[in-house]
Amino acid sequence: MTPHHRIGEGRTRLREHRGLSRGSPRPFGALKDPSFRRSLALLRAFRHEQDDPDGCYGLLARDAADQVEAYGGSVAGRTVVDVGGGGGWFTEEFRRRGAHAYLFEPDVRELGEKPPDGAVIADGYLLPLADGVADVTFSSNVLEHVADPQTFLSELARVTRPGGLIYVSFTNWLSPWGGHEWAPWHYFGAERARARYRRRTGKPAKHTLGENLFAVHIGTTLRQVRARDDVTVVSARSRYWPFLAETVVKAPGIRELATWNLLLILRRCPP
């Protein structure tokens, strides 16, 4: 992989601008108590995902990069691996912040017309990377699209250096958005919801349960991740929720409905 040409530009300036030295995490305050304004802005952006993808994903990428930096410090100069990164908005944002960021995406259609330079067509189960190369491994909204989330997580952990950060988020099945484009009708059954989507829009749904969308639950995922010996859980929180973002994830049952999207911040253990 060749370092991206923008990597060095303004790295020092960026750090000065944010008042951060390399590796020093941001204050946690804003993240621990995320604001209504932020959640509203994200919600509005999601509503324009189809007609303004750049606006929507640009905002989401800035927000996610802020979250990464809140837990792991500035990404400037760090190696960030974006797994299942779609059109590359997150990779581009990490690069804007001075990271050596690389996009790995298995589906060429998801890359779109303007993928980031050096994007690699690769499956997250088998990344073409040596062990421990990444300071940050980032995977946004991919886990519910893989049939074997635990094997996927093992690969994320493998490529992350000991002490490095792993950012994983997913929309759980019982979230109001769990059915993706056919939500919230998935509560009445996936097949019925897909059929309804086709009837209403005249086009086939992108997702099929059991093929490219899987019913991932928060409780099961937390139990499995906590039982792993390659990562420790730094935080399990609602990714978009404006308040009680960690508390909601602690309430069995309720969390499956109320979390909407689970964000796991994991730290790679020494092998």
Ligand X SMILES: C[S@@+](CC[C@H](N)C(=O)[O-])C[C@H]1O[C@@H](n2cnc3c(N)ncnc32)[C@H](O)[C@@H]1O
Binding site for ligand X (CB under 6 A): 83-86, 105-107, 110, 123-125, 140-142, 145-146
Q: How far is the CB of 131 from ligand X (least distance, A)?
A: 18
Owner of token pair 């997702």: 207
d(CA 63, CA 69): 10
How far is the C-alpha of 173 from the C-alpha of 221, rounded, in Å?
Answer: 12
Strand 160-170 with 134-140, pairing: parallel
- Closest approach, Cβ 16 to ligand X, in A, equals 30
Structure-token pair, residue 28 = 């946690």
Nearer to ligand X, 52 or 110 (CB): 110
Cβ distance to ligand X smaller for residue 71 or 138 = 138
Q: In degrees to the nearest 10, what's the CA dihedral of 253, 184, 244, 44?
A: 170
Place of tokens 């996009």: 103
As measured in angstroms, the least distance from the Cβ of 238 to ligand X is 16
CB 60 within 8 A of CB 45: yes
Q: Determine the Cα–Cα distance for residues 88 and 104; give it in Å rounded to an integer.
A: 9
For ligand X, the closer of residues 33 and 107 by Cβ is 107
Report the nearest approach of ligand X to the CB of residue 145 (Å): 4
Minimal distance, residue 135 CB to ligand X, in Å:
19
Specify the residue, 20 or 212, whose C-beta has the smaller distance to ligand X. Answer: 212
92: enclosing H helix or E strand: helix 89-96
CA neighbor of 233 nearest in space, from 243, 223, 242, 241: 223
Nearer to ligand X, 131 or 148 (CB): 148
Q: How far is the CB of 123 from ligand X (least distance, A)?
A: 5
**CB 233 → ligand X: shortest distance, Å?**
21
Closest CA to 23 of 77, 67, 63, 66: 77
**57 vs 71 by CB, closer to ligand X:** 57
Q: How far is CA 77 from CA 70, 218, 262, in A?
A: 16, 33, 28
- Contact (Cβ atoms closer than 8 angstroms) between residue 83 and residue 138: yes
DSSP label at 213? B
Q: Which is nearer to ligand X, 84 or 164 (CB)?
A: 84
